[in-house]
Structures are given as structure tokens and as C-alpha cells.
Amino acid sequence: MRSFAFKSLCLTMALFVPLSMMAADSGAMAFPTGNVSVNGKGLSSPTAIFAGDRIRTDAGSLSLTAAGSSVQVGEKSSVTFTASQLQLASGGMKVATTTGMTGQVRNLTLRPESGKTVYTVAERDGKVMIAALEGNLALSDGHGQVMLAANHAVAIPVQGSDQPTCKAGDTKCEKAMKKCKADDTNCKAAAAAGGAAAGGAAGAAAGAGAGAAAGLSTGAIVGISVAAAAAAAGIGVGIAHATGSSSPTH
């Protein structure tokens, strides 16, 4: 009996430990709740994911653990994972990192300044909403940069069309467009731009600057409560963060 139990334990460790070691080396461990998929395949148990994997939550959510970082992906979200960056195509997420894991949404890059940083980012109703729960965030749109201080949040309107379309007779674009989810505007932008990766794992990255964009002009940025920004990401925050709002500084 003891021999059987020992063999069962060894088998379990042999299966789990290599998986954990692989995730630690080049990816992350994903822990799904509810209806979640990776690269279009349903996910129901803890699984190692790797650079380029695309996560989608419908009626579900997902937690990720990577070296020095942990991530929560809210419901109805689409995120592409890389070793040092998370690319948000739709929905929202919360990132806690001590290794500087950046976030990307459309043409915006969110870069932790130093030390431990916790932040949320979401795109809802034509706005990108970002909250710095702990530590400062540098926000860049490729043309300028603003600083978002800890315990502050902002809303940035998305400028331009949210629904990229194909040129008449562009069958390659139309074929790629059919692979995109209905609310995945970044994937559609990649298809409209002729991105071969549209609808695949790199679709969000390829379309990040191809369609509508979020600009960092001070007139467009509006300070909002941290609680509102976090709620848009589908993530709750503690009472200590519930009232912060700000206009960021250059």
C-alpha cells in the first residue's frame, strides 16, 4: 500500500514539477476560472503558457504567475502574453510586478518606473482607463510621455474609428477579418493593415497602432477614481485606493 502511494506521489511530481519549471524559465502558469481559452482552445486546469499565447476570457477570469509578476485578467478580455509584456486587445487586467512587466493597449505602453508596481488597465466604451495602485507608471503613445503617480487613475479617449474595414476586393483582409472576435478591434485593425498574424497569437501586437489610437494630449486625459478604473478592468481594489484621482504630469 505504501509502495503504491509512493509511486503515485512520484508520478504526480514528475508530471507537475517539469511543467512548473518550464513555465518559470520562459512563460507563466495560468489558473483559469470559468469559461477561458488559450489560442482558441478551452482551458479548465492550471497550464503553462508561453510567449505569443493568446488568452481569452468570456464568462470567466484568469490568474497568471510569472517570474516576479502576477496578473489577473477580467471577464470578457483578450490578452497576448510575452515574457516581459502583456498586450491587451480588449477588456481589462491587473498587473503586480517587481520585474517591470509592461502593459500595452492599442498604441499606449505602460511602463513601471521602479520597485514593486501594481496597476490596472482596461478598454471599455471608447476609453482606455489606467490606474496606478502602487508605484508610478510612465505612459507613452510613441510621441509623448506622461507620468501617472501612485494611487491615481486616468481615462484616455480612443480617437478615430473603432471598426477598421477592408478595402473593396481585398480578399486577404476579408479572410483575416473573419478570424477576429466581434469586439477585438486590434485584430480587425491588423487585418485591415494586411497583417498576416491577424486572428492569431500576434494579432493584438500587429494591430496595436494600425487602427484607432489613444492620444496623450493633456486636454484629452481626464482624472478618474482608482475604483472606477479598476472596476472597468473587472478587478476590485481595497478601500485605501478607492478615492484617488489625478491629472498626470509630463
pTM across the whole model: 0.69
* In contact, 133 and 230? CB cutoff 8 Å: yes
Per-residue pLDDT at 24 exceeds 90 = no
Give pLDDT tens digits for 25-44.
568 999 999 999 999 999 99
The vertex-185 CA angle with 88 and 112, nearest 5°, equals 20
Bigger pLDDT: 9 or 188? 188
Decide: helix, strand or coil at residue 230.
helix
Question: What distance in Å separates the CA atoms of residue 189 and residue 175, rounded to the nearest whole number?
Answer: 13
pLDDT of residue 128: 94
pLDDT of residue 229: 93
Angle between helices 185-192 and 171-178 (to 10 degrees): 160
C-alpha cell at 233: 478592468
Q: Which amino acid is at 101?
A: M
Question: What distance in Å separates the CA atoms of residue 132 and residue 67, rounded to the nearest whole number?
Answer: 21
- Domains in the chain: ranges and CATH: 2-160+214-241 (2.60.120.1440), 171-211 (no CATH)
Give pLDDT tens digits for 63-74.
999 999 999 999
